[in-house]
Structure 1
């Protein structure tokens, strides 16, 4: 049993690094929009990207709540305080990224600093893709048993 717990923890940390850490490293490694790019980004494009990111984050929040807060198998032995803390950390991550980048990257242009590979948009997309990938692979492997 200890092997499977360690195996599960390893994959959780692995996916969290590639879902959260890598997009943040790539973004803050130097890819910011310049003034020229922001002046030529339409407000409609910025609003659509903001809406897409918010919709993706809502999908992540709803699926997390559905899997870990509503599921009766996770409600025993105090696993609920920890799952709720995970949900609160996800909400804080989404809000923190949005507020921090707005303060530091907007330079008076509003939401025009957003682009499709921005961490506010790509982090929930990677959560959705990785959870679908992980669910599909484990479902195929364990459906035989």
Structure 2
């Protein structure tokens, strides 16, 4: 995964930075060095470039630095002020052993705020494996803020620290952005101004096109990821069902492919009927991604569901809570 991300990161850098530089500097010199007729226009492009680079700097700082500190503070707030939950460990699997800790995959169960027993997978880094704190049958104290935007369960004993490697990489990235923005502007001024001040700046100059491209493609990537999360189902919606859902037996009336594929796996629409705690019958539908290897296992008939009493149209199959 790291190799995959690294490859596409380098590819995007070459596309966003290398391509505008290549196109500009292999273009006709008369077009590049002909001064702009208006000093006001040149200052406009200078201001536009400063604005675009500032937006890139803020965008990078927000997503790779500020959000890291916000996430840390959010976890600390949950540990300090969150609602307490007693959680039982049903099973434990060691996913990886690393220097100083083990990565554990747990299956845990607890009674939610609707007095419904639920079981979900939970991953934890065990820094003290010799103490055997996460053996099956053990009871853990956890906290959560179910009414927040993205509710999560956090161990009361969790130790929250920042990843120094990620933090250092983000700081270096910010310094590189700042150095390139200032350094390239000074370089271009020295090489291209020819005594005409900032009149060498044009809309297609790399100093303007590079930050504009970075914002454009960064926005596209953000929208694509947001769309994928919506189509695949977000953890926010799932955790809302975990904390407030009620279990009941339902019936699959019909299912069919939607024609949408995520990671080459088909998205299936299910028509389900179930009765809520008030005795009201509901006919509702939802969509989920099914592995190609599991398509032949689909069938109509009884299936346990987990639904929100305040909004029964929002539900999932209970077995999906245990899916990792």
TM more than 0.5? yes
User: Over alpha carbons, which structure has the higher Rg?
Assistant: 2
Distance change in 2, residues 1:31/1:81 (3 Å): farther
Residue 81 of structure 1, CA deviation: 1.6
SS for the counterpart of 1:117 is coil
| Aligned mates of 1:48, 1:34 — CA distance in 2 | 18
Find the partner of 1:104 among 174, 191, 213: 191
Residue 76 of structure 2 corresponds to residue 80 of structure 1:
no
Post-superposition Cα deviations, 1:51-79, rounded to whole Å, max 9, x if no partner, equal: 00000000000111111111125942431
Partner of 1:12: 9
Structure 2 stretches lacking a partner, 5+ long: 73-161, 233-324
Residue 64 of structure 2 corresponds to residue 68 of structure 1:
yes
Taking structure 2 as the reference length, the TM-score comes to: 0.41
Partner of 1:142: 229
Please say which of residues 24-33 and 125-134 is displaced more in the overlay: 24-33
Please say which of residues 11-20 and 105-114 is displaced more in the overlay: 11-20
- The answer on whether the counterparts of 1:97 and 1:119 sit within 8 Å (CA) in structure 2 is no
| Aligned mates of 2:201, 2:173 — CA distance in 1 | 26
Residue 49 of structure 1, CA deviation: 0.3
| Aligned mates of 1:31, 1:102 — CA distance in 2 | 18
Task: Looking at secondary structure, tell me which structure has more helix per residue.
Answer: 1
Residue 20 of structure 2 corresponds to residue 26 of structure 1:
no
Alignment RMSD, CA only? 1.7
Structure 1 stretches lacking a partner, 5+ long: none
Task: Looking at secondary structure, tell me which structure has more strand per residue.
Answer: 2
Distance change in 2, residues 1:96/1:139 (3 Å): same
| Aligned mates of 1:62, 1:141 — CA distance in 2 | 25
Residue 34 of structure 1, CA deviation: 5.7
Please say which of residues 42-51 and 134-143 is displaced more in the overlay: 134-143
Answer 1 or 2: higher relative contact order, Cα 8 Å, separation at least 6: 1
Taking structure 1 as the reference length, the TM-score comes to: 0.89
Partner of 1:59: 55
Count of residues in Structure 1 that have an aligned counterpart in Structure 2: 140
Residue 12 of structure 1, CA deviation: 1.0
